[in-house]
């Protein structure tokens, strides 16, 4: 059975979205585990950047600040796939895991991402992270 052009495009977009969700999971797990090389490998092999609260990093190894009892989770993914390029917007949630096994909310923010499909997989070309401002009186943040 052959597919129509529209069906084929929908299939490519759906498989691209699923692969990008897997990329997010690998990125978050590497960050949380403190595995800098695995985290950097989620970005394009050259020319990628990370902007965190307006500070731009083109040397991704210097941008890495994961591990150290932190757990990064991303939710509310809005992904648009256009051929070999994609954009994503999602919410970042950062938890701190204490020595007493208590988990506390550390921060929330928003990622705006540009991605590319190359070398058989999806990679971040740029990630822009803006952490939300948190009032100290907030009962959810310790």
Q: What is the per-residue pLDDT for 136? A: 57
Q: Please state, in angstroms and rounded to a whole number, the distance separating the CA atoms of residues 32 and 51.
A: 19
At residue 1 the predicted structure's pLDDT band, cuts being 50, 70 and 90, is: confident
Q: What is the per-residue pLDDT for 133? A: 81
User: What are the pLDDT digits (tens) for 81-98?
Assistant: 999 999 999 999 999 988
User: What are the pLDDT digits (tens) for 113-140?
Assistant: 999 999 999 999 999 999 998 655 555 5
Name residues whose C-beta falls within 8 Å of residue 27's C-beta, 6 or more positions apart in sequence. 39, 42, 124
Residue 68 has pLDDT above 90, yes or no: no
Q: What does pTM read for this prediction?
A: 0.88
User: What are the pLDDT digits (tens) for 5-64?
Assistant: 999 888 888 999 999 999 999 999 999 999 999 999 999 999 999 999 999 999 999 999
Name residues whose C-beta falls within 8 Å of residue 115's C-beta, 6 or more positions apart in sequence. 20, 23, 85, 86, 87, 88, 122, 123, 124, 125
Q: What is the per-residue pLDDT for 110? A: 98
- Ordered by where they begin, the domains of the chain are 5-131 (3.10.450.50)
Q: Look up tokens 């997989």; give the residue.
A: 121
Helices (H), 34-133: 36-40, 60-63
Q: What is the per-residue pLDDT for 38? A: 98
């Amino acid at each position: 059975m052959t597919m129509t052009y529209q069906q084929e495009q929908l299939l490519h977009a759906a498989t691209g979205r699923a692969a990008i969700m897997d990329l997010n999971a690998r990125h978050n797990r590497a960050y949380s585990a403190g595995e800098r090389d695995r985290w950097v490998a989620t970005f394009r092999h050259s020319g990628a950047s990370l902007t965190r609260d307006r500070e731009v990093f083109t040397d991704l190894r210097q941008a890495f600040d994961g591990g150290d009892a932190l757990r990064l989770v991303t939710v509310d993914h809005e992904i648009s796939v256009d051929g070999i390029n994609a954009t994503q917007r999602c919410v970042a949630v950062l938890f701190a895991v204490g020595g007493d096994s208590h988990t506390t909310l550390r921060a929330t923010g928003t990622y705006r991402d540009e991605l590319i499909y190359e070398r058989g997989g999806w990679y971040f070309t740029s990630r822009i992270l803006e952490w939300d401002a948190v009032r100290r009186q907030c009962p959810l943040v310790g």
